[in-house]
Amino acid sequence: MRDWRGADVISIRDLGREEIEQVLARAAEIEPDPDLLRGKIMASLFFEPSTRTQLSFASAMERLGGRVIGFSGVGGTSIQKGESLHDTVKMAERYADIIVIRHPLEGSARFAADVASVPVINAGDGANQHPSQTLLDLFTIKRFCGRLDGLHIGMVGDLKYGRTVHSLASALTNFEGIKLRLISPPSLRMPPKILEEELRGRVAFEEIQDLDLADLDVVYMTRIQGERFPDVEEYERVKGAYVLDLEACRQLKPEAIILHPLPRVGEIDPEVDRLPQAKYFEQAANGVPVRMALLSLIFLGR
Amino acid sequence: MEELKVSKIAEGTVIDHIRAGLAPLVLRILGIEHGYPGSAIMAMNVKSSRHGKKDIVKVEGQFLDEETINKIAIIAPQATINIIRDYKVVEKHRVELPERLVGLVKCPNRNCITNSPEGVETIFIPEEGGKLRCHYCEESVDLRRVELYY
């Protein structure tokens, strides 16, 4: 068993199956406890705003009795005056016992962890990593499917730029008998680098364009963003082809689950919300116990 | 291919078994360019028992430091370094990639912290399959396509 005390959580690549299972097991049993992290302070350094991640980290810390300081967006901070990331981190490590950071540059969280004397959790470094999101995705799948081995998982939409699907696919290579069905328009395929370097030989995968959801255990939806397309017509056409509505959901197995990292902008019809397979709000809610588990492991080793 | 004789040097370093065509890059790493005052010999596409064709660089009076050898290891991983004293090879070894390459390779990811005004020195970790991975942004680069800081 790994000793988590004082650990940084920067990239899902740093976590093997055992570490992932340790976090998920702790997340499954952890309860709010106002004494667990009493007196501990988290510095929440969000150089880019984020609703769910920032709020769920803060909620997790407070539910365990800790306090949160920090900022969201750089308006009104010394960063606007040109303060470096290095100096911001060196200040925060003296004000807090742990740092949670989101920053637009890739590699910023690793740099912060190298610089800081306190543990650092990466809450998103540009297009690179967001390990607590991947852990909560895995936690949600484990909770509803009962296992992480032998699953058939469909990933739908923007597989090119979607950081969450890259990390999730990469994390799933730790498990046995995984089949991935990658469903996207040709212009938004999973990058060949990820397919070849990370997935090939470790999981089975197929790439298709039609929204074929038959036989899947998990459907992981993503947002297709307009700014990725040179022209509006092409965007509207592609967006329309990957909308999950009641009709499309008729292909689903009764025990399948639908996930989405949220926010959604039309790719899941709100009518789908009432289906028993719709689990994306539970998924968002799971951000709190998973982050509580990380905090508890890092501070207490359990 | 006709046998090509490359003259010997008295004191210095011979970098042998450089992949054919890469000698000019090795010269650049050694700082040998327009206006270099010392003597150096470069041979390109000469016959090699091991690789078919190879390049060779011989530099009079230079003994390479670790950083320079590491840079050569990046672009020419099969190269050998021969130390010459009084026309004789007194030491011979293959170049070897170190566990971490610090401040040598540029990260191709423009959005990487090492390409920002933050001024973070690059760190690359060699991986299997002839690849390097950025310690910060995790971008992987093919060794044959790396861009070095000269």
For residue range A143-155, list pLDDT tens digits in order: 999 999 999 999 9
Could you say which of A63, A110, A130, A260 is catalytic? A130
Q: Using a CB-CB distance cutoff of 8 angstroms, which residues of chain A are in contact with residue B120?
A: 107, 111
- Which residues lie closer than 8 Å to B149 by C-beta, 6 or more apart? B103, B104, B105, B106, B122
- What's the pLDDT score for residue A76? 78
Could you say which of A26, A40, A53, A166 is catalytic? A53
- What's the pLDDT score for residue B6? 79
Q: Say what percent of chain A tops pLDDT 90.
A: 86
Using alpha carbons, list the distances in angstroms from residue B150 to A176, B62, B102: 45, 17, 13
pLDDT at residue A74 greater than cutoff 90: no
More confident call, B150 vs B70: B70
**Mean pLDDT of all residues in A50-65:** 96
Interface of B with A in 85-114 (CB under 8 A): 107, 109, 111-114
Q: How confident is the model at residue B3 (pLDDT cuts 50, 70, 90)?
A: low
**Mean pLDDT of all residues in A153-173:** 95
**Mean pLDDT of all residues in A277-282:** 98
**Mean pLDDT of all residues in A81-106:** 96
Q: Output the pTM of the full model.
A: 0.91
- Mean pLDDT (chain B) is 92
pLDDT at residue A243 greater than cutoff 80: yes
pLDDT at residue A227 greater than cutoff 80: no
Chain A contacts to B (CB-CB under 8 A): 11, 13, 84-86, 104-108, 110-111, 125-129, 193, 197
Element (H, E) at A247: helix A246-249
- From the centroid of its chain, how far is CA A32? 22
- Cβ distance A292 to A56 under 8 Å? no
Q: Using a CB-CB distance cutoff of 8 angstroms, which residues of chain B are in contact with residue A112?
A: none
CA nearest neighbour of A129 among A14, A223, A282: A14
**What is the C-alpha separation between B55 and B43, in angstroms, rounded?**
5
- What's the pLDDT score for residue A230? 77
- Which residues lie closer than 8 Å to A200 by C-beta, 6 or more apart? none
CA nearest neighbour of B150 among B28, B58, B26, B23: B28
Element (H, E) at A182: strand A179-183
- What's the pLDDT score for residue B30? 94
Q: How confident is the model at residue B72 (pLDDT cuts 50, 70, 90)?
A: very high
Active site residue A152: no
- Please identify which residue in the block is written with the tokens 């852990």: A135
Using alpha carbons, list the distances in angstroms from residue B73 to A74, B30, B96: 42, 13, 6
User: Choosing among B138, B139, B142, which should be mutated to test the A contact, i.e. which has the most A CBs within 10 A?
Assistant: B138
- Mean pLDDT (chain A) is 95
**Mean pLDDT of all residues in B45-74:** 91
- Cβ distance A154 to A219 under 8 Å? yes
- Please identify which residue in the block is written with the tokens 């017509």: A233
**What is the C-alpha separation between B119 and A224, in angstroms, rounded?**
34
pLDDT at residue B126 greater than cutoff 90: yes
CA nearest neighbour of A4 among A135, A94, A125: A135
Minimal C-alpha gap between B139 and chain A (Å)? 9
**Domains and their CATH numbers in chain A:** 12-130+286-300 (3.40.50.1370), 131-284 (3.40.50.1370)
- Please identify which residue in the block is written with the tokens 């365990």: A64
Element (H, E) at A285: helix A280-285
**What is the C-alpha separation between B57 and B42, in angstroms, rounded?**
5
- What's the pLDDT score for residue A231? 83
Q: Say what percent of chain B tops pLDDT 70.
A: 97
Task: List residues bridging with B16 in a β-sheet.
Answer: B80
**Mean pLDDT of all residues in A192-200:** 93
pLDDT at residue B60 greater than cutoff 60: yes
Q: Using a CB-CB distance cutoff of 8 angstroms, which residues of chain A are in contact with residue B111?
A: 104-106, 126-127
DSSP-derived letter for residue A2 is -
Is the backbone of residue A28 left (phi > 0), alpha (psi -120 to 50) or beta?
Answer: alpha
Torsion of CA A70, A75, A77, A83, to 10 degrees: 120
Q: Using a CB-CB distance cutoff of 8 angstroms, which residues of chain A are in contact with residue B134?
A: 107
Active site residue A13: no
Sheet containing strand A120-125, strands side by side: A67-72, A41-46, A98-103, A120-125
Q: What is the torsional sign of CA A115, A134, B115, A50?
A: negative
Q: Say what percent of chain A tops pLDDT 70.
A: 100
pLDDT at residue B1 greater than cutoff 70: no
One-letter amino acid at B115 equals N
Minimal C-alpha gap between B54 and chain A (Å)? 30
DSSP-derived letter for residue B120 is P
